[in-house]
Amino acid sequence: MLTANFGSIPNLISLFRLVLVPAIVVMIASHRWMEACIIFIIAGISDALDGWIAKSFDLRTELGAYLDPLADKALLVSIYIALAINQTIPAGLAIIVVARDLMIIGAFMVSWLLDKPIRVVPLPISKLNTAAQIAFASLVLGVKAFALPAHPWFSIGVYTITFLTLASMAAYISRWIRHMNL
């Protein structure tokens, strides 16, 4: 019994991250940058923590395989959209981030509907992309929270996130095409 309860801890952490998403968006919309930054950093740490706990204690679950990436996507998509609406980051960057996730979800759904489900396995480029997106959003929120100058790293960050997001998108599309035998 103890193992079953302990096994849900990574999933509970992922659910906690999902609950933080609206709070961060509200803080950004309210220009409460310090609070947004703190909540986002907590959410980012929770992402690393749930994965570490699941792997270290062999507590991986099928629910966790879906819940963790869902929490990541909800967090990052929401943050990038909120920052773009607030004109803090270029709208094009948010569009690329959202498009990538919509394409991955769409491909997953099409595979499932055609009775050719594809296993949910994050690619190394995707892990790097997620880490970079979290780091960039943290830096943007930190700059706003502490009223720091954004240049020159801001432009470098925008191009880096654009490149990694497009590379991740291409890797997933390639994997999906091979899986679907197109």
pTM of the model: 0.89
Which one-letter DSSP state was computed for residue 88?
S
Decide if 14 contacts 67 (C-beta within 8 A): yes
85 Cβ contact list (under 8 Å, min separation 6): 29
What does the pLDDT profile of the chain (182 residues) look like in tens digits? 344 555 689 999 999 999 999 999 999 999 999 999 999 999 989 988 998 999 999 898 888 888 988 898 899 999 999 999 999 999 999 999 999 999 999 999 999 999 999 987 889 999 999 889 989 999 999 999 999 998 889 999 999 999 999 999 999 999 999 999 98
- Longest C-alpha distance within the chain, in Å? 54
Other CB atoms within 10 A of residue 13 CB: 23
Q: Which domains are present in the chain?
A: 2-179 (1.20.120.1760)
Using alpha carbons only, give the angle 103, 109, 113 rounded to the nearest 5 degrees: 145
